[in-house]
Amino acid sequence: MQDKIKLTSKKVLREKRLRKIFLILIILFLLLLLLFYMVVGIVYNQGNFSITLDENMSFDRGLIMYDNPDDKAYRRELYAEEPGNFDNISGYWLPEDITASGGGSHNGKSYLAYTFYVENIGEEIRDYWYEVYIEGATRGVEDAVRIRVYRNDEYVTFAKARATGGAERDTTPFITDTLAGRVHIEDFWPESIDKYTLVVWIEGSDAECTDDILGGEFRVRMRFNSEYIEENQVS
């Protein structure tokens, strides 16, 4: 009888120990899951739209970047706020005065708009390049995206070429699947300021704008360089 009680007692202790271990494993799994979603949130929400300045532009060439003309603090990276909603719209719906903002995010219904500045505070005439990249796209949403870059109120609109070939209406085709565009700015004089407004939307009239892209995500990065950078050199 005593042996039976001892065996039962050991079995109960073993079951309690297993339940404890199982509970700890569940807690660890939930913590890892929470960490995963935090990382995904950082990648896809806080940094969905970023502008990066090559350090050589500032340290060696006297070019700076900022989004507040009243506070020209040196910034290597700028982040645009994501619109609360990204339904498809028509580019014709964009406000005519979309570049009138003083700086920073000024999103509208279903489009991103962000204004910032590049200034030559050096003593020499400089050239620079900017590239626009689409990164982390899912569900083919990049096929219907429009990226418009205003420089001093003149703009170029980048879009992926049609599936049947050729550029979409009033757009410049992407250079590659991820490199939307590259522009060379020449003869940027000392004390000159280039005002940029980045506008991003999903074009409803695009044939690729179908229900298949619902739930898709994408990131846009704009990079300013002091020299021409090959695609495979970009980090």
Q: What is the pLDDT of residues 184-202, one digit of tens each?
A: 999 999 999 999 999 999 9
The token pair that represents 215 in the structure block: 């739930």
* Rounded average pLDDT over 154-180: 94
DSSP strand pairing (172-173 vs 111-120): unpaired
- Name which of 216, 126, 231, 226 is nearest 180 in CA terms: 231
Residue 46's pLDDT band (boundaries 50, 70, 90)? very low
Judge whether residue 38 has pLDDT over 90: no
Q: Residue 50, Cβ neighbours under 10 Å: how many?
A: 18
3 state SS of 193: strand
* Rounded average pLDDT over 75-101: 91
- DSSP for 39-61, written as a single string: HHHIIIIITSEEEEE-HHHHHTT
